[in-house]
Amino acid sequence: MPEIHFNKEKGSELKLFTPGPVHVPERVLNEIAKPNDTHRSQPYSEMHQMATEGLQKLLYTKNECLIFTSSATGIMEACVRNLVKSDEKVVFLSIGAFGDRWYDIGVLNGKNAVKEGVEWGGAITPEFAQGIMEKDKYSVVCIQSNETSTGVYNIIDQVVPILKDYGALVCVDATSSMAGVKLEVDKLGIDVCLASVQKCFALPPGLAVCSISQDAIERTSQVKNRGFYFDFNILLKRNKLHQTPTTPPIPQIRGLVAQLDYILNNEGLEKRFERHTRLGKRTRMWVRDMNLEMFPIKEQFCSNTVSTMKNSLNIDFGKMVSMLLEKGYRIVNGYGSLKGKTFRIGHMGEITVKELEEMLKILTDIIAELRLNK
């Protein structure tokens, strides 16, 4: 049994087909191991600027980009604290566990928060979005591009422009799609586009990033009680100097710069997006071959970075995950209330179609064994 316990000498040798954190390539680990100057030094500022300019290219935006010493949830909380005034309403368009979490963050911060959504497995359609915006006046809308619990990709390209037509600020949680799926921030008019880096960026956890529009910056100045650590204005002020207000994980930012350079100048954006499309497609081909069923209710809703499958074969997913683990691979059970009812395969970051196929072959044998012994 290779990887059940902490491996002090070698680190994990598991092959991760998870929806984050994902496998980090050796070249990135080597970058992260390099020594750095302090976070108030010129070399750091140069590195920070490379990171934010790289993010602008990745997101097709001229908007300023920020780096947070937190995971994505920190920026989700920042959106709520910075952008929602006490006399205004925020709506969370939820299609799964992470949409629900964002709504909870709104409520816990004492904001006038409303949750609207569709049955899990569904997506926010343009018609649904329009219906919600007609119903009430919302100054801020929060939505996931990719809902990692259900494996659904919202039709973000069509939905965001509708939300913008109603004059709302639109925050997009792109945690499990940024750097794997094309997100054209300026074209769509996304005000805050956020993600953590342990997913499609293929970096270790510990950093989150976002773009922020001029409208969102102006709104921030009008909102009271924004706190300190996640105050957009405080972050923006330091960002002008290519720094962060507090000590950031400098080695991680070195890793981010290296990975952005690789994505933009080595693999290339279009090729990277295309590879993720093929990974999603290949997984769905396997699902069909296995007589399994996708959790998303329509093929067009299926994510290309994480696939969620139903338990249509009625097998013990916990056991299946453990048996695959013994072969050196990790996939994951369903998230939260979907545990046992679904399982998920993450195909994001640096995974190749060939590597995915190798894992799926082994998983096929495991499923056959489980069915035989039922």
Ligand X SMILES: Cc1ncc(COP(=O)(O)O)c(C=O)c1O
Site for ligand X, rule CB under 6 A: 20, 71-73, 98, 144, 146-148, 173, 175-176, 196
Q: What does DSSP say about strands 332-333 and 329-330: parallel, antiparallel, or unpaired? A: unpaired
Beta bridge partners, 173, equal: 144, 194
What is the distance between the alpha carbons of residues 207 and 258, in angstroms, rounded to a whole number? 14
Query: Which CB sits closer to ligand X, 54 or 206?
Result: 206
Smallest gap, in angstroms, from Cβ of residue 363 to ligand X?
22
Q: How far is CA 185 from CA 64, 114, 259, 271, 291, in A?
A: 11, 25, 20, 19, 38
What is the distance between the alpha carbons of residues 70 and 84, in angstroms, rounded to a whole number? 21
Query: Which CB sits closer to ligand X, 272 or 344?
Result: 344
Smallest gap, in angstroms, from Cβ of residue 144 to ligand X?
5
Query: Which CB sits closer to ligand X, 44 or 120?
Result: 120
Query: Which CB sits closer to ligand X, 167 or 336?
Result: 336
Smallest gap, in angstroms, from Cβ of residue 61 to ligand X?
20
Smallest gap, in angstroms, from Cβ of residue 24 to ligand X?
15
Chain centre distance of CA 262: 19
Query: Which CB sits closer to ligand X, 20 or 349?
Result: 20
Smallest gap, in angstroms, from Cβ of residue 369 to ligand X?
30
First vs last C-alpha separation in the chain: 23
Smallest gap, in angstroms, from Cβ of residue 294 to ligand X?
18
Query: Which CB sits closer to ligand X, 72 or 263?
Result: 72
**Helices within 243-305 (DSSP H only):** 250-261, 269-289
Q: Which residue carries 């709506």 as its tokens?
A: 91
Q: What does DSSP say about strands 342-346 and 306-310: parallel, antiparallel, or unpaired? A: antiparallel
Q: String of b and e for 268-282 (b: at least 16 CB within 10 Å)? A: eeeebbebbeebbeb
